[in-house]
Amino acid sequence: MSDWRNEVNYLVHESKIKVPYTWSVGDTGSRFLRALRDDKKILANKCPKTGQVFCPPKLNSPYSLEPITEWLELSGTGTVTTFTERSYDSRAALPEQSRIYALITLDGATQALPHLLGEVDFKNVKIGLRVEPVFKETREGHILDIAYFRPTGENKQ
């Protein structure tokens, strides 16, 4: 019996697909993103059963499945828990985006927020680095209204 995969000459068609779409981020997402956009505030919410604090906020706790109704405002400062650097060039898609990605546990939160680091060389990034948010001048209601997180003065020795 022959293997049909060895008999097929695969064809590749190059094209560009543009599919515009919209969706609702819901009540929880809207409240979080409006606070970023309008007030430069970072909100979180807290599970009533486990005490876990989520940023970005969640509608229901993934641990207890309970609805989350308690909201908190975080200072925005936090600690880098892990990080990596993008080694490929994506200037065509994201020309102003940082090349350093990190998980940041914001003060008061128990879950890490994935975001970008800026104003720091990769060689100077360490686990435990204290960071603060830098907001864009013009904000649109998106997680990237925080342009990136930068080291705080707490890191200087």
Q: Per residue in 74-98, pLDDT tens? A: 999 999 999 998 876 655 555 455 6
User: Which tokens sit at 16?
Assistant: 């560009």
Q: Answer positive or negative: Cα dihedral of 88, 104, 35, 67.
A: positive
Domain spans of the chain, in order of start: 23-155
The pLDDT assigned to 20 comes to: 86
26-35, 52-61, 89-98, 124-133, range with the lowest pLDDT: 89-98
Average pLDDT of the residues in 122-149: 96
Mean pLDDT of 116-127: 95
Mean pLDDT of the chain: 89
17 pLDDT band (50/70/90 cuts)?
Answer: confident
Q: How confident is the model at residue 1 (pLDDT cuts 50, 70, 90)?
A: low
Measured from the Cβ of residue 132, the count of other Cβ atoms closer than 10 Å reads 16
Residue 23 reports pLDDT greater than 90: no
Q: Which helix (H) or strand (E) holds 27?
A: helix 26-34
Burial of 155 (0-12, 13-18, 19+ CB in 10 A): middle
pTM above 0.85, yes or no: no
Confidence tier at 14 by pLDDT (50, 70, 90): confident
Percent of the chain with pLDDT over 90: 72
Q: Tokens standing for 155?
A: 């890191």
